[in-house]
Amino acid sequence: MVVCLNGFQGQKKIYHKTQLHLHKLAATAKIRTFIMMKRHYLFLSLSFCWLIAKTPAQPSGGGAGAISSAWIATAQSIHFLKNEESLLPVKHLESSVIYYHSFGLEAGNAFEETVGKYATQPSIPPKGGPGELHIFALNAGTVRPGDAAFEAFEKQLGTDSHSSKTVAVVFGDTAVLQSRPSLWQAQAVVVAPTLDDATLSLAAQVLFGGTPGPQHMRLGYAPPAVAGMDAQLLADSITAIVEEGIQAHAYPGAQVLVAKDGQVVFHQAYGFHTYDSLQAVRTDDIYDFASLTKVTSTLPALMKFYGEGRFDLDAPLKKYLPFFKRGNKANITYRELLAHYGRLKPSIVFWKDAQKKNGKWKHRSFKNHYSRRYPVYITDSLFLFKNYKKKIYKGIRSQPLNAERAYVYSDLPFILYPQVVERLANRPLEDYLKDTFYRPLGASTLTYNPLRFFPKERIVPTERDTFFRKIQVHGTVHDETSAMLGGVSGHAGLFGSANDLAKLFQMYMDFGEYGGERFMAEAAVREFTRCQYCGEGNRRGLGFDKPPLQYVAGESYVAHSASPASFGHSGYTGTFAWADPAQNLLVIFFSNRVYPDRSSEGLYELNIRPRLHQAIYDAILK
């Protein structure tokens, strides 16, 4: 049931009083437009109703019910007074550069922090223009007559309103809208009565469509009770299991994100980047996804192409990769390859193939310095021959097939998928992925080769490579073959934060929609996430992993409560993401279990992931 916001009549009176002041201002086109909005107040009053909808019934008489009710009441206190051209909730993040301005609010407050979960503050100064959105947040209680700093804040709002899209968010006494009518120059005006963290966070969520209701279109951030989960059980269980792994040196640090019913209800970081305990893990840290790349890079592109009728799952490999028209793999279908059912070997150790028996590098493989013929960066003292990628493809083409058709997890076809995507998109893979998926999702940290965009301190290190690169791998891809492909591949190489990965997986759970946009056909998501060869003993979807056909405790890395509709993937570096549409539940676990080296087996020996996953299911209130 939709809950309409209270207090509209009081805000309407403020509007009528403010209207007198507006006539005294310069008669700009924007102000004249707002004066005409008097005719549309019925529409505005109805638009208040979408901010929040009642969540499923909560237990009566308990703490969870009280918390949920309080959260709903707080959301109900946030009002839209103006929303020209339906500016809010913000749409098309890929075409909006969002700037944040504040007056009277502490730096790093909950409003600013929550805005940052949807859109990253750009490093470039604003230039003005329709592609910019400026959010002005004001603590009304700090406004004083003759305050030069506030007058500068007002002036900036007015300037930006003439050239860009602007939103004014007023916290506290709305009387400031009468005494300072210039605030109405913003295209959208939102008011919130208090400055507590819940109100500050919800006000930001309202701007981006994160609150439950008819206009809910992006992940929100709420207490577990709002999504029908036991907060204490959830936090205690997760903390106990994750810290057990840290104590056992399964990994130096980790983080866990839980989203339920479109709301992130838990996101906590634990431990440190390394065992020297110098840098604590942060929830916005960036991790090497390892094989999570398989379902987050080329796969969404193939899903989109399939939904558009441009990619045939039952076509042979040679159709989109003519290079493979000769050889033993020419007629293996993409459906078989994506389900790890094409008789391919698990992998090829390509860097080892480039080495002579005496340990030296073969001709046209590696050199210890950069040149035009050896431009592919591996380390500061190791560079790969420019055409070595062709040798990798030839190695895959000539690799013998397994004798029998059976499920064998393989990296090899995923190494080839970037060529398929680039052929169908007619663009470089990374450009296509960022323009089509990551930027529109607001997932700015999803990237290959992250050191181009982020400081090393924000990236969690992986392994001390003692056999190939002879360095501490930090900020470059852990997987050796991906490194030889310039860090860009379909099997490994993508990096990102948990919050941004959650956006992509929530889009999958919402069957191709997110942020008011459709990224891929619903039929494509359903096809790729269903078990393809269950009758033949293969549990896999297309790219995605699925729960075991018969659950045996200790043999699966997912919970026994994971439904047959659920899907996800894991990564060798210690990453894991699993979505369950039947429960509308998303779980992300990030660790760097390969630090200091890959010999650490604690993540598996302690069954960290299935225990953690099950504990989260157990926290759902029945």
More confident of the two residues 54 and 167:
167
How large is the angle between the packed helices 412-425 and 298-307, nearest 10 degrees? Answer: 50
pLDDT exceeds 90 at position 245: yes
pLDDT exceeds 90 at position 6: no
Q: Of 10, 4, 42, give the one whose Cα is nearest residue 174.
A: 10
Q: Of 291, 307, 288, 294, give the one whose Cα is nearest residue 337.
A: 294
* Per-residue exposure over 490-524, b if at least 16 CB sit within 10 Å of its own CB, e if not: bbbbbbbbbbbbbbbbbbbbbbbbbbeeebbbeeb
- Summarize pLDDT for 584-614 with one digit per residue, the tens: 999 999 999 999 999 999 999 999 999 999 9
The strand order across the sheet containing 79-83 reads 79-83, 188-192, 165-171, 132-139, 97-103
Beta carbons within 8 Å of 585's beta carbon, 6+ residues apart = 258, 259, 260, 579, 616, 617, 620
> Counting beta carbons within 10 angstroms of the beta carbon of residue 340, is it exposed (0 to 12), middle (13 to 18) or buried (19 or more)?
buried
Q: What percent of the chain has pLDDT over 90?
A: 86
Q: What percent of the chain has pLDDT over 70?
A: 90
- What residue segments make up the domains of the chain, in order of their start? 2-227, 265-348+399-582+589-601+612-618
Measured in residues, the chain has a length of 622
pLDDT exceeds 80 at position 108: yes
Q: Of 513, 476, 518, 615, give the one whose Cα is nearest residue 559.
A: 615
Tell how strand 2-3 and strand 52-53 pair up. Answer: antiparallel
Given its phi and psi angles, is residue 159 left (phi above 0), alpha (psi -120 to 50 degrees) or beta? alpha
> Counting beta carbons within 10 angstroms of the beta carbon of residue 601, is it exposed (0 to 12), middle (13 to 18) or buried (19 or more)?
exposed
Count of beta carbons in the 10 Å neighbourhood of residue 43: 10
Q: Identify the residue whose tokens are 């052929």.
A: 423
Determine the pLDDT at residue 63. 76
Count of beta carbons in the 10 Å neighbourhood of residue 111: 27
Count of beta carbons in the 10 Å neighbourhood of residue 325: 14
* Phi, psi of 471, rounded to the nearest 5 degrees: -145, 170
Count of beta carbons in the 10 Å neighbourhood of residue 621: 16
| Distance (Å, whole) CA 185 – CA 188 | 8
Dihedral sign of CA atoms 434, 439, 442, 444 in order: positive
Determine the pLDDT at residue 54. 30
Confidence of residue 121 (pLDDT cuts 50, 70, 90): confident
The architecture that CATH gives domain 265-348+399-582+589-601+612-618 is 3-Layer(aba) Sandwich (3.40)
Mean pLDDT of all residues belonging to the chain: 91
Mean pLDDT of 556-568: 98
- Summarize pLDDT for 259-291 with one digit per residue, the tens: 999 999 999 999 999 999 999 999 999 999 999
| Distance (Å, whole) CA 178 – CA 594 | 59
- Summarize pLDDT for 563-573 with one digit per residue, the tens: 999 999 999 99
Mean pLDDT of 416-443: 98
| Distance (Å, whole) CA 112 – CA 110 | 6
pTM of the model: 0.91
- Between 124-128, 254-258, 536-540, 545-549, the lowest mean confidence (pLDDT) is in 124-128
The three-state secondary structure class of 126 is: coil
Distances (CA, A) of 387 to 97, 147, 390: 38, 64, 6
Confidence of residue 392 (pLDDT cuts 50, 70, 90): very high
- Rounded to an integer, what is the distance from CA 47 to the centroid of its chain? 28
* Per-residue exposure over 531-547, b if at least 16 CB sit within 10 Å of its own CB, e if not: bbbeeeebbbbbbbbbb
The three-state secondary structure class of 302 is: helix
Determine the pLDDT at residue 76. 87
The three-state secondary structure class of 119 is: coil
| Distance (Å, whole) CA 133 – CA 372 | 43
> Counting beta carbons within 10 angstroms of the beta carbon of residue 395, is it exposed (0 to 12), middle (13 to 18) or buried (19 or more)?
middle
DSSP 57: P
Tell how strand 165-171 and strand 188-192 pair up. Answer: parallel
What is the identity of the amino acid at 321? L
The architecture that CATH gives domain 2-227 is 3-Layer(aba) Sandwich (3.40)
What is the identity of the amino acid at 622? K
Mean pLDDT of 192-200: 97
Determine the pLDDT at residue 122. 85
pLDDT exceeds 90 at position 40: no
pLDDT exceeds 50 at position 51: no
Mean pLDDT of 301-322: 98
pLDDT exceeds 90 at position 527: yes
Q: Identify the residue whose tokens are 């097939």.
A: 401
pLDDT exceeds 80 at position 193: yes
Confidence of residue 215 (pLDDT cuts 50, 70, 90): confident
Mean pLDDT of 178-193: 97
Is residue 258 within 8 Å of 587, Cβ to Cβ?
yes
Is residue 194 within 8 Å of 170, Cβ to Cβ?
no
Q: Identify the residue whose tokens are 């039929």.
A: 523
Mean pLDDT of 334-345: 98
pLDDT exceeds 90 at position 59: no
